[in-house]
Each structure stands twice: as C-alpha cells, then as structure tokens.
Amino acid sequence: MLIDDNPIIGKRIELVSTNDLYTKLNVGELGTIKFVDDYGTIFVDWDNGSKLGMIPGIDKYRIIHD
C-alpha cells in the first residue's frame, strides 16, 4: 500500500550512500520523493533517471527541507 499523505512526498533528497551494487547513482545525486510504502521505503525519481528506492536504516540519504 502507498502512503500518499506523507509530508516528505515532493521533497528533494540527496544520496549519501547505498549498498546497491547495481545502481548507477553516485554520492551527492539529487532526486524528488514520489511516495513512501508501508515498509518505509522511499521511492525516488532521481535526476539522472534512476528510480532506486531508499531503505531507511540501510541506505543513507538527506532529505532537503526548504
């Protein structure tokens, strides 16, 4: 199930680190948060075209607040 009323949806996010061996994302990449699922996975449309989701507690990221 998607959680569409999460206040971080639409916020910008910056990748700090990930253990995903297959991603083409680099540290410092930016994206926009599209939705958060019931498990807390943050699904991102990265500016480079990637759709890799961030898993809290595993991936490291910074949510950019206005």
Residue 25's domain spans which residues? 2-64
Pair 1, 48: CB distance under 8 Å: no
- Check pLDDT > 70 for residue 4: no
Q: Per-residue b/e over 33-64, b at no fewer than 16 CB within 10 Å?
A: bebbeeeeebbbebeeebebbbeeeebebeee
Number of neighbours of residue 12 by Cβ within 10 angstroms: 16
Pair 13, 64: CB distance under 8 Å: yes
Task: Count the domains in the chain.
Answer: 1
CATH number for the domain including 27? 2.30.30
66/57 Cα distance (integer angstroms): 24
pLDDT digit string (tens) for 7-22?
A: 899 999 999 999 999 9
pLDDT at residue 6, as a whole number: 81
